[in-house]
Amino acid sequence: MKIFLDTANVDEIRKAADLGLIDGVTTNPSLIAKEGKNFKERIQEICAIVPGDISAETIATDWEGMVREGRELATWAPNVVVKAPCTPDGLRACKILSDQGINVNVTLVFSTTQGLLASKNGAYFISPFVGRLDDIGLDGMELVRDLVEVIENYGFRTQVLAASIRTPNHVIAAAKAGAHIATMPASVFNTLYKHPLTDIGMTRFLADWKTLPNYEEAIFPKRA
Ligand code: G3P
C-alpha cells in the first residue's frame, strides 16, 4: 500500500519524506487555506520535495471551470494530479481531463455507486472519506472494501485512495481492505513506527552495551 501525506505543510512533508516512506501528497482547499501561502508556489514546492503524485484541487463548481482549472494545475508540475469533486460536473470534468491524459483524483466519494461512476470516467484515484463516514455512524472502511472489489471485478485503472484517515487502526484496516493508497495527516503517520517496547528495548540494549570494556571503541577502534 502506498502512503501519502494529507497536508500542505512542507516541514511535515520534508520530515516524513526523509524517512523514504512517502509516495505522494494530497491537499485540499482547507489544507491549503490553513497554510495561508500562494497556492501555485506551495504545490510546486511540494512537487519538488516528493516525486510521487501530488493532488491539487479545483475550486470551480461547473465542469467547464473545473476543466479549465484542471488543465492549468496540470502545467504546474509533471506530478500534479487534479482533484475534482464527485458531483455530476466533477464526473464530466474527470472524463474530459482523463481523455486528455491528465490524471484526476475524484474526491468526496461517499458511496460505491459514486466510485463506480468515477472509475468508468477514467479516474486515476478515487478518494473515499473514511473518517467522515465513521463520523455519521457508518463504516467507512466497508466502502473502501467495496470499491477495491468493484475495481478488481472490471479491471479499472483507478486506484482507491483511502482518505480522511484519522487513526493508525484506519491505516491497518485500509491495508487489509486492499486500498492502493492511504493518505493521512502527519500526526497519524508519525504513530505508525512508534512502539513503547521498541523504546524500552533500545534503552536496555544501550545500557547493557556500556558495561562492555572499551565499548566506545568497539566499532571504530581508535588508532594508536
Ligand atoms: O483526504 C481528505 C481529508 O483531508 C479529509 O480529512 O479528517 O477532514 O475528514 P478529514
In the block, cell 566499532 appears at 219
Residue 82 lies in a domain: yes
pLDDT at 77: 98
Catalytic site residue from 15, 37, 83, 194: 83
Q: Is the pLDDT of residue 223 over 90?
A: no
Residue 34 a catalytic site member:
no
Q: In the structure grid, which three cell numbers stand for residue 62, read together?
A: 461547473
Residue 215 lies in a domain: no
Amino acid at 158: T
pLDDT at 155: 98
Read off the CATH number of the domain in which 32 is found. 3.20.20.70
55: which strand partners? 26, 81
pLDDT at 183: 98
- What band does 222 get if pLDDT is binned at 50, 70 and 90? confident
Q: Is the pLDDT of residue 96 over 70?
A: yes
SS3 of residue 163 by DSSP: strand
Residues 123 and 103: their CA atoms lie apart, in Å, by 7
Angular region, 122: left φ>0, alpha ψ -120 to 50, beta rest:
left
Residue nearest atom 10 in ligand 1 by C-alpha distance: 164
Residue 212 lies in a domain: no
Q: What stretches of the chain adopt beta strand conformation (E)?
A: 2-6, 24-26, 53-57, 80-85, 104-109, 125-128, 159-162, 181-184
How many domains are there within the chain? 1
pLDDT in tens, 120-169: 999 999 999 999 999 999 999 999 999 999 999 999 999 999 999 999 99
Q: What is the mean pLDDT of residues 27-42?
A: 98
Residue 162 lies in a domain: yes
Residues 18 and 12: their CA atoms lie apart, in Å, by 10
Q: What is the mean pLDDT of residues 2-25?
A: 98
Residue 111 lies in a domain: yes
pTM for the full predicted model: 0.95
Q: What is the mean pLDDT of residues 43-54?
A: 98
List the domain range (segments joined by +) for residue 176.
2-194
Atom of ligand 1 nearest to the CA of 132: 9
| CA distances to 151, 178, 214 from 157, in Å | 8, 15, 59
pLDDT in tens, 58-83: 999 999 999 999 999 999 999 999 99
C-alpha 165 to ligand 1 mean position (Å): 7
| Of 30, 164, 187, 188, best ligand 1 pocket probe by most atoms within 8 Å of the beta carbon | 164
pLDDT at 224: 67
Residues 224 and 121: their CA atoms lie apart, in Å, by 71
In the block, cell 484517515 appears at 165
Q: What is the mean pLDDT of residues 20-40?
A: 98
43-71 as b/e: b if 16+ CB within 10 A:
bbbbbebbebbbbbbbebeebeebbebbe
pLDDT in tens, 167-179: 999 999 999 999 9
